[in-house]
A and B are shown apart, each in its own frame.
Chain A
Amino acid sequence: MVKLTIDETVMEVPTGTTILEAARSHGINIPTLCYYKNLNDIGACRVCLVELKDKDKLVTACNTNVAEDMVVYTNTPAVREARQTNVELILSQHRVACTSCVRGGNCSLQTLSNQLGAKEPAYQEEWADNQWDMTFPLIRDNSKCIKCMRCIQVCDHIQSLHVWDVLYPGTQSTIGVHENKAICDSNCSLCGQCITHCPVGALSERDDVGRMKKALADPNVTTVVQIAPAIRTAWGEAFGLTPQEATVQRLATILRHIGFDIVFDTTFSADLTIMEESSEFLKFMQHKQPDDLPMFTSCCPGWVRFAKSEYPELLDQLSTSKSPQQMFGAVTKTWYADKIGLTPKQIFSVSIMPCVAKKAEAELPSMTRDDGTPDVDLVLTTREITRMIKSEYLDPKNFAESRLDDPLGIGSGAGVIFGSTGGVMEAALRSAYYFVNGENADADTFKAVRGENGCREVTTQLGGKDVKAIVVNGLANTRQLIENLKAGKVHCDFVEVMACPGGCVGGGGQPIHDGEEMAARRAPTLYRLDHNDQLRFSHDNPSIKMVYQEYLGDPLSDTAEHLLHTHHVASER
């Protein structure tokens, strides 16, 4: 323990604590900007400055450890002056466009400069420019970039993709795509973690709200919307709703109010994915030798993009089952369209996803129908749907819950937990067990795969055989696992990969709370819903039974293969 004084408060904190953490633990607030706990403590913005007794040089609280008998002052004339100057310098390179910025009202720089009382610009403004492919699902606007380096850090350390880099040293320091490649030529997985870690509006998703509004206004199309499992953990955050209030049923009412015609649940097609993927896995296991590489899930498009750019040689190990989003689109524009007597072109199929990579997935040529229309016409992130609701001046608290539409609005608890790391694996094992044994295990049998660690494993028995499953989240963790698998240091049968830390609940399309990792807070909502659900097995979902009975036949049937499976090729990203 170390004893020190901050602003007259004498405190004792563990050795190795930073001044910032020590202060916060005693209710003393030191402003920060570039700092991000456990990711970015590099002292770049020089906002968290503090003064030490008898020292002239100010130090950054974020990366200076406390020392015995240290005396720290957080608000001295020198601190105030330097902090104010530094924020004004940052503002001189930041295109202040708060009124039209997606981060207006949720921007750390805006908050900071408001709090500090930044006045008229003291310095000549000079914005960096960058050319950007505005059709790409991820948008970078360097005129707003404050060079906090967080995007570089998250991509380097959490995702191991090194998409971002400092392009020039010296006076013109700029952040851009490594070697200034066009973003579409880079190995970006579109996980969107750089967006959720950006303190300002320099990084954002491509805004497709305009296209959505156009479709809603078109009397000739029927809008069919699917809501991904993870949305129900997060959509209410912007409106001050508790997780209990922010149900998918309340969101359904709001979406209908906005004008969506039919509101469905991606949980349905999560169940469908489980039917196909677990059947595929059981088939895979019939031929698998202990030393063979495992089968990988393929429902996370960030992971699939990663596999295509980093490990194209592994693509044959990926499940051919389409993701829930794409299965949903495929079923909507065939079986369901038939059912309600519409042609596929009369349906505008929309998904609400916690994810940026889903936008790219929906646009893949292989996810397009023979007539050239995509199975999913438009993907909106949680943030975009939040913005839509806000722009309609709706207060969600005033809306009652309502049932989702039949039949694709029905999903099981197994489908709901898809939104969390480990969820796909748990759901798949529940159904695989049933397929092998002809009866359900207790729904919580496989709960050992739950958790927050980057890589977890569980061994279970299927048909008298040990099956070793590994669940991994975050692409750096994934890379490590794959390297170990390839080197023969790790063996297993089935791997679930989610590109984002914590899975879709922590997805790159989810609401942004600067400095907070939300996945661990959101996941319990999914497990609560699963726990309280009467329906906890994908194969028990009556709508699933119906679609197989009426249309698909059995899992892995020719129709199912044609409609619900794909072939992963590296050239298609």
Chain B
Amino acid sequence: MSRLSLDTTTAAEKTAAALYQSVQLRMAVTPTSVCPVEIASAYAKLCHSQSCGKCVPCRIGLGQLGELLDEVKTGHGSEATLDLIERTARSIKNSADCAIGYQAAAEVLRDVIAFRPDFENHLEKGYCLAPHQGIPCVRECPAHVDIPGYIALIGAHRNDEAVQLIRQDNPFPTACAFVCEHPCENQCRRNIVDKSINIRGLKTYAVDNAAIDILPMPKAAPTGKKIGVIGGGPSGLTAAFYLQLMGHSVTVYEKRHHLGGMLRYGIPSYRLDRHDLQRDIDSILTTGVQVHMDYDIASVADFQKLQADNDALYIAIGAHSDKKLRIPNEDAQGVLSAVELLRGIGDHKMPDFSGKKVVVVGGGNVAMDVARSSVRLGAEKVTVAYRRRQEDMTALPDEVQGAIAEGCVIAELMAPIKVEVDDQDQATALWVQPQIVGPYDRKGRPAPRDAAVDPVRLEADIVIVPIGQNVDSDMFEAAGLPRKWQNLAASNATDFPDNAGIFSGGDCVTGPATVIKAIAAGKVAAANMDSYLGFNHHIHADIDIPDPQLNDPVPCGRMALKERPAAARRQDFENMALPTSDEEAAQEAARCLRCDHFGYAAFRGGRETQW
């Protein structure tokens, strides 16, 4: 017999590994409606199955934990059961020999503590507080767009109606087709089978192939009510669109020279073509929304006049002012604000970066926008300095990969310490302190700290600082509106407890967030403003949805979105997306599992045809 032999994987081991992988996939899309007690119990049992059987806390304790949790789940047991669960989990966490045991208990313990009210509800009242399951993608979309509906319409080659159905809940179908962060895809049930539907990709296909931008939507009779909307960005225009359809007379006051807000002044045109943005804006304006451009509400008196002239106001001014890094020489020449740079580009003011070395500080989507714009402005070298690891970046992975493909260099684990200037006060470099990654912070990301090495000099003619934006809300506070930090403190219903008739939403309430969240706020505001004015108008697109295709759910690859080659697209600000073919779109639409028809939605939480 040989002294040593090579390990091989048995068929059983391969199958087990595949099963584990499907557990992983399934858990990734766990519906929000899962009972926290049940999931904790199932988790404890799953972990128990991994126990080697040696040490007591894991071998016996995890099983007992599962049983105790089941007791709570069915409403049996008492407060003492909860205490016993906590004690058991804590003991396993502190005493199990290896991570299989102690990590399992740590997670259960966290669940028990976080969901204590829910656990108590099981015991005291005998039912679960978890919401009922709905349609995963619709529920995840902040604006609750009827996603299975429009995918089915795309599958039936009814692109005009698909776009119209989106417009029932979101008047920016085109803009969102290109720039939405698509939270809808995260919990797509297709993830259980293979990979989520490329929902944004299908939407792009629909807007690219729709023959008509906007079909007529039902419009209510004029109500005689006047509404002012401050800010012509996605949130303000959304509210304006729906309120106008509800029969109110809406005027939008926009500070800048063009409509679109951050869609124009924050997102560069290679990601969202100005013509595409204009299609949405024009469609919104066809409803009869009045617009005043270059109209600044600068003083409390201005605001009060607007209040007096209107029956209700919607404030959607976004978050457009810079945050500072607070490092030496931040005001030097060559140090640019990301907001200003992108705003200039939005107004077609293109600075020349030819031959310049650019350093961008940060790891969010705006940092990527700025870095990639710098490439297009002719920069010789673009470096993105980020104090955490690349994988910790908040920018979408596609954005980061896009930037790298276009030649940007990612300098990860580099924290800025000062801008170096020459005697003309012109930036010459950014000094950064190398970091090492450390334990996780409270938000669950590994926190960086200074490495015991010398600072590094990153040569830079231009330093761009996109580390966040603030809300320009001082005037509104002076006018009597409550704030939380710099943000306006409107409720989830977009109103203020003590300021009847004034509503607010979007970035100016949430701080910088996504387009679709701003749109959702506009939709919520429209509904609640309509009610405030004493009406109950409903928005509905009245489109019949095709029956589900009865395909067997065999695994099938997810459609990829194609872009122009990096070498070509980095030369200009033209749209970088390439169209999707009919063939690809048809296959992708057919992958949709139609959770509006199958599953719980057939019973409850299904399609809503109006709001």
User: CB within 8 Å of B: which residues of A?
Assistant: 41-44, 52, 55-57, 59, 63-65, 67, 149, 153, 165-172, 176, 179-180
Partner of B130, one of A67, A169, A171, A176: A169
Closest B residue by C-beta to A44: B603
B527-563 interface bits toward A, Cβ cutoff 8 Å, 1 = contact, 0 = none: 0000000000000000000010011110000000000
Find chain B residues with CB under 8 A from A56 CB.
552
Closest B residue by C-beta to A165: B127
Whether B603 lies near A57 (C-beta < 8 A) is no
| Count of A-B contacts judged by CB separation below 8 Å | 58
Contacting A at CB under 8 A, from B91-146, are 125-128, 130, 132-133
A42 CA / B596 CA spacing, docked (Å): 11
Chain A CB within 10 Å — which of B34, B128, B547, B598 has the most? B128
Whether A169 lies near B133 (C-beta < 8 A) is yes
Chain B CB within 10 Å — which of A55, A57, A170, A171 has the most? A170
Partner of B35, one of A42, A64, A169: A169
Whether A57 lies near B552 (C-beta < 8 A) is yes
Whether A167 lies near B547 (C-beta < 8 A) is no
Is B33 part of the binding interface, using a Cβ–Cβ cutoff of 8 Å?
yes
Find chain B residues with CB under 8 A from A43 CB.
598, 602
* Interchain residue pairs with CB less than 8 A apart (27): A41-B602, A42-B603, A43-B598, A43-B602, A44-B603, A55-B550, A56-B552, A59-B550, A63-B602, A64-B547, A65-B547, A67-B550, A149-B603, A153-B603, A167-B126, A167-B128, A168-B38, A168-B127, A169-B34, A169-B130, A170-B38, A171-B73, A172-B38, A172-B73, A176-B126, A176-B127, A179-B127
Is B74 part of the binding interface, using a Cβ–Cβ cutoff of 8 Å?
yes
Find chain A residues with CB under 8 A from B125 CB.
179-180
CB distance from B506 to the nearest CB of A (A): 32
Find chain A residues with CB under 8 A from B33 CB.
169
A65-B547, A169-B130 known; 18 new pairs, CB 8 Å cut-off, are A44-B603, A52-B550, A56-B552, A57-B550, A57-B553, A67-B547, A67-B550, A149-B603, A165-B127, A167-B128, A168-B35, A168-B128, A169-B35, A169-B132, A172-B74, A176-B126, A179-B127, A180-B125
Whether B127 lies near A180 (C-beta < 8 A) is yes
CB distance from B157 to the nearest CB of A (A): 16
CB distance from A44 to the nearest CB of B (A): 7
A63 CA / B128 CA spacing, docked (Å): 29
7 closest A-B pairs (Cβ-Cβ)? A180-B126, A167-B127, A180-B127, A42-B603, A170-B38, A42-B602, A168-B128
A65 CA / B33 CA spacing, docked (Å): 29
A67 CA / B132 CA spacing, docked (Å): 31
B31-58 interface bits toward A, Cβ cutoff 8 Å, 1 = contact, 0 = none: 0011100100000000000000000000
A43 CA / B548 CA spacing, docked (Å): 14
What's the dominant secondary structure at chain B's contact region?
A: loop
A55 CA / B547 CA spacing, docked (Å): 17
Find chain A residues with CB under 8 A from B133 CB.
169
CB distance from B400 to the nearest CB of A (A): 37
Find chain A residues with CB under 8 A from B602 CB.
41-43, 63
Find chain B residues with CB under 8 A from A64 CB.
547, 550
A63 CA / B597 CA spacing, docked (Å): 9
CB distance from B111 to the nearest CB of A (A): 15
B578-603 interface bits toward A, Cβ cutoff 8 Å, 1 = contact, 0 = none: 00000000000000000001100011
A59 CA / B550 CA spacing, docked (Å): 8
A52 CA / B549 CA spacing, docked (Å): 12
Closest B residue by C-beta to A34: B603
Find chain A residues with CB under 8 A from B553 CB.
57
Closest A residue by C-beta to B536: A487
A169 CA / B122 CA spacing, docked (Å): 12
Closest B residue by C-beta to A59: B550
A62 CA / B511 CA spacing, docked (Å): 48
Find chain B residues with CB under 8 A from A44 CB.
603
CB distance from A565 to the nearest CB of B (A): 38
CB distance from A562 to the nearest CB of B (A): 44
A171 CA / B45 CA spacing, docked (Å): 14
A171 CA / B41 CA spacing, docked (Å): 11
A487 CA / B443 CA spacing, docked (Å): 49
A43 CA / B597 CA spacing, docked (Å): 10
A331 CA / B602 CA spacing, docked (Å): 51
Known: A57-B552, A176-B127. A171 touches B603 (CB 8 A): no
Closest A residue by C-beta to B129: A179
Find chain B residues with CB under 8 A from A169 CB.
33-35, 38, 128, 130, 132-133
A176 CA / B35 CA spacing, docked (Å): 17
CB distance from B536 to the nearest CB of A (A): 8
Partner of A166, one of B38, B132, B547: B132
Whether A171 lies near B38 (C-beta < 8 A) is yes
Find chain A residues with CB under 8 A from B75 CB.
180
Closest B residue by C-beta to A128: B74
A43 CA / B606 CA spacing, docked (Å): 14
A512 CA / B66 CA spacing, docked (Å): 43
A149 CA / B133 CA spacing, docked (Å): 15
A429 CA / B73 CA spacing, docked (Å): 57
B62-80 interface bits toward A, Cβ cutoff 8 Å, 1 = contact, 0 = none: 0000000000011100000
CB distance from B167 to the nearest CB of A (A): 25
Whether B73 lies near A168 (C-beta < 8 A) is yes
A165 CA / B129 CA spacing, docked (Å): 12
Find chain B residues with CB under 8 A from A171 CB.
38, 73
Find chain B residues with CB under 8 A from A153 CB.
603
CB distance from A82 to the nearest CB of B (A): 15
CB distance from B81 to the nearest CB of A (A): 16
